[in-house]
Amino acid sequence: MTLWLPRGFSGDTATEVRRSRFLTRLARVDDEDAARAVVAEVRGTYPDARHHCLAFVVEVPGAQPVERSSDDGEPAGTAGMPMLEVLRGAGVSNAVAVVTRYFGGVLLGTGGLVRAYSDAVSSALVGVPLVRPEVRQLVGLEVSASEAGRVHGALMARGVDVVEASWAATVVLTLAVPDVAAVVGLVREVVQAEVDLVSLGTEVVEVPVLSLREGEV
């Protein structure tokens, strides 16, 4: 199951390993440019740090996700890829993780660096809000102005999302549903007449889910 961070989310955490400090910025991003903008922001916040390692995963409609990572001067394979593996393992996409390291004077070795960067991202993921993207079909339902309020309220009460109402001589209610065929009978019952649902395309709805707990990342 793919999970996203909520829109606008950005959070900072810190871990320490043998006096080296690892500062993690975890943020929601929807394209590669946004991910690199977060990296640039972190570099500007901590200009004196030697390493700003990154990993991000961004969904691309109709194609494979874009995945990037960087060790930023750390030994090859000890930072960016382990960070990316944590995001993959948690099923988190549309997210960027940037880990800034301040060296504490004690060498960690390659294995120690892999664990430290992995743990930095894992710790950042624990407890953060998450959403599950769901593609829903948009359909238009035309009703009389006198019935619009009743129909709108009855549909919402039965779990059908009414995302828009366009008022004119008649009212067109835009419904967002997982499966049009599954709700036709319900809509007919509410309207108390035959209905003609007009396809209006699709939209992605972000449904909140439980946060990841320690041990799940």
Examine the domain organization and report whether 117 and 48 are in the same domain: yes
Answer with the residue of higher pLDDT: 33 or 217: 33
Reported confidence tier of residue 182, pLDDT bands at 50, 70, 90: confident
Digit-coded pLDDT (tens) for 120-131: 999 999 999 999
Beta bridge partners of 208: 131
Answer with the residue of higher pLDDT: 54 or 205: 54
Cβ proximity of 48 and 20 under 8 Å: no
For residues 38-63, average pLDDT: 94
Q: In this model, does residue 60 exceed pLDDT 90? A: no
Examine the domain organization and report whether 49 and 100 are in the same domain: yes
Q: 19 in a domain, yes or no?
A: yes
Q: What is the pLDDT of residue 178?
A: 87
Cβ proximity of 5 and 27 under 8 Å: yes
* H helices, E strands: number in the chain: 5, 11
Examine the domain organization and report whether 121 and 144 are in the same domain: no
Reported confidence tier of residue 6, pLDDT bands at 50, 70, 90: very high
Q: Of the ranges 41-55, 157-171, 201-215, which one carries the lowest mean pLDDT score?
A: 201-215
Cβ proximity of 134 and 204 under 8 Å: yes
Examine the domain organization and report whether 146 and 199 are in the same domain: yes
CA–CA gap between residue 174 and residue 34 (Å, rounded): 31
The last residue of one of the domains, among 128, 148, 179, is 128
Reported confidence tier of residue 61, pLDDT bands at 50, 70, 90: confident
For residues 21-37, average pLDDT: 97
Examine the domain organization and report whether 8 and 115 are in the same domain: yes
Model's pTM, two decimal places? Answer: 0.80
Q: In this model, does residue 176 exceed pLDDT 70? A: yes
Measured CA to CA in angstroms, residue 180 lies from 43, 106, 195, 201 at distances of 48, 61, 12, 12
Reported confidence tier of residue 1, pLDDT bands at 50, 70, 90: low
Reported confidence tier of residue 163, pLDDT bands at 50, 70, 90: confident
Cβ proximity of 205 and 176 under 8 Å: yes
Measured CA to CA in angstroms, residue 201 lies from 116, 177, 181, 198 at distances of 45, 11, 15, 9
Examine the domain organization and report whether 122 and 172 are in the same domain: no
CA–CA gap between residue 203 and residue 133 (Å, rounded): 10
Percent of the chain with pLDDT over 70: 99
For residues 7-16, average pLDDT: 96
For residues 45-72, average pLDDT: 94
> Exposed, middle or buried: residue 106 (CB in 10 Å: 0-12, 13-18, 19+)?
exposed
Examine the domain organization and report whether 26 and 122 are in the same domain: yes
Q: What is the pLDDT of residue 212?
A: 81
Examine the domain organization and report whether 43 and 109 are in the same domain: yes
Domain that holds residue 94: 3-128
